[in-house]
């Protein structure tokens, strides 16, 4: 890191301190925390992380989003460095967050990071800690996502445990009927793909449920986004299972998209098989 870049960052913080309007000042500090957190991950330089924490402490209204940015960075860096202490510091920082959504997002990132290190090291104690920490995630949707991510890490080495974790993840998502249809559709696709990797026929049922949910989405951008996810999932499962029916359905679904950006991505997803 050059001295020039460091001085530029410190200059941004100093400039924000001169803002008289407290709401605008907090917004500026939060933006700086986001920049610092991203740069910490990009550069793997902890100076940015330290400055992000200092800057978050300057936010005069709700600092939760700023701390989520910091914890996301700590989770990524801690996982890459296999640094348990950094992740544990991230857990402590979650105590500064005061709403269930942001706590769920932050803990989700830390749970997966702990699990990845534990699995890589074959450290059962650390993996157990990760699963215990997952129990503290307030929102079922994020708790389910964390378990699915851990299950994905276990598919190859320990399929029995992966299936057990996925079973728990499914139970949690079934309790989340009030979740947004877009979120549930993505979750069902994720579950379907994991079940397929574990050679579990229930994958087809979750694909059907995802399609049913997609049909009920009114917003065309959102519908195109979820249809793309379904197309990608069907192609992955269809290729693995050598299921031409599912692959043909993926092609048909790609033709139902109305937004060009997603439609182009869907065409790319199916053209290898369709050619």
| 199 torsion bin: left (phi>0), alpha (psi -120 to 50), beta (else) | left
Torsions phi, psi for 58 (to 5 deg):
-90, -10
- How does DSSP classify residue 18? T
| Residue boundaries of the structural domains of the chain | 1-61, 87-175, 180-275
In angstroms, the CA 250 to CA 231 distance is 5
User: What digits encode the pLDDT tens for the residues 217-226?
Assistant: 999 999 999 9
In angstroms, the CA 89 to CA 93 distance is 6
- For residue 273, is pLDDT > 60? no
Q: What is the maximal distance between C-alpha atoms in the chain? A: 64
- Helix/strand/coil (H, E, C) string of 181-217? HHHHHHHHHHHHHHHHHCCCCHHHHHHHHHHHHHHCC
Output the pTM of the full model.
0.91
Confidence (pLDDT) at 140: 96
- For residue 275, is pLDDT > 50? no
């Amino acid at each position: 890191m050059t001295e020039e870049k460091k001085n530029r960052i410190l200059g941004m913080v100093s400039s924000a301190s001169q803002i008289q309007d407290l709401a605008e000042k907090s917004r500026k500090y939060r933006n700086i925390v986001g920049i610092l957190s991203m740069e910490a991950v990009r550069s793997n330089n902890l100076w940015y992380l330290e400055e992000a924490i200092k800057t978050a402490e300057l936010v005069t209204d709700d600092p939760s989003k700023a701390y989520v940015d910091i914890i996301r960075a700590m989770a990524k860096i801690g996982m890459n460095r296999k640094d348990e202490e950094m992740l544990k510091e991230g857990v402590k920082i979650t105590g500064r967050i005061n709403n269930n959504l942001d706590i769920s997002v932050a803990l989700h990132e830390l749970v997966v990071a702990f699990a990845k290190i534990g699995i890589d090291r074959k450290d059962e104690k650390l993996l157990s800690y990760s699963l215990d920490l997952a129990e503290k995630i307030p929102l079922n949707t994020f708790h389910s996502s964390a378990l699915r991510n851990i299950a994905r890490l276990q598919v190859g080495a320990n399929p029995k445990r992966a299936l057990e974790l996925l079973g728990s993840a499914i139970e949690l998502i079934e309790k989340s009927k009030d979740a947004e249809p877009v979120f549930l559709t993505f979750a069902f696709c994720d579950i379907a793909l994991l079940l397929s990797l574990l050679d579990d026929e229930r994958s087809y049922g979750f694909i059907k449920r995802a399609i049913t949910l997609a049909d009920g989405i009114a917003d065309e951008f959102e519908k195109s986004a979820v249809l793309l996810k379904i197309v990608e999932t069907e192609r992955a499962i269809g290729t693995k299972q050598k299921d031409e029916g599912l692959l043909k359905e993926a092609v048909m679904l790609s033709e139902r998209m109305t937004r060009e950006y997603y439609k182009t991505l869907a065409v790319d997803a199916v053209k290898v098989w369709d050619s």
